[in-house]
Amino acid sequence: MTDVNTNASTLGPLLYPAAHYESPADVLNATDISVPEKRIILSSWASDMYAVETYPSLREIPGMNHTIRLADILSALQRLDGDNDNDDPPRGSGVPMRLRRPWAAADRTSR
């Protein structure tokens, strides 16, 4: 019979990522896992299941000795998708458009 060691440090990064990565940046910089695997880890960390009850913008990941900001996790996910301009507000394109109310046009014609 084989003695199986299932301590957290011997489990793979997908089974127990907190034993291998300290932050979303560590996950992004990891060379031993693929982009889809990074997305799996970051998405699981973003899950509401790990939300701190009184601070929903923080996540407590089992096995980690500190909390992680949800904003950092979401930023890392955006970087995986190639969105490097996530610090800048979205740029508008085109002319702003005012929506007309159908009844406003009817009021003008009855004057």
Whole-angstrom Cα distance, residue 25 to residue 80? 11
* 61-111 pLDDT per residue, tens: 888 899 999 999 999 999 998 865 544 444 444 554 454 555 555 555 555
The model's pTM: 0.62
pLDDT given at position 19: 77
Task: Dump the DSSP string for 30-42.
Answer: -SSS-HHHHHHHH
Best CA proximity match to 27, nearest among 71, 79, 84, 87? 79
Name 25's Cβ contacts closer than 8 Å, sequence gap at least 6.
72, 76
pLDDT given at position 110: 56
Check if the beta carbon of residue 22 is closer than 8 Å to that of residue 73.
no
Across 9-37, average pLDDT: 81
Q: Where are the beta strands (DSSP E) in the chain?
A: 51-52, 55-60, 67-69
Q: Taking 70 as the threshold, does the pLDDT of residue 18 lie above it?
A: yes
pLDDT given at position 3: 47
Whole-angstrom Cα distance, residue 104 to residue 102? 5
Best CA proximity match to 18, nearest among 50, 56, 48? 50
Across 38-54, average pLDDT: 91
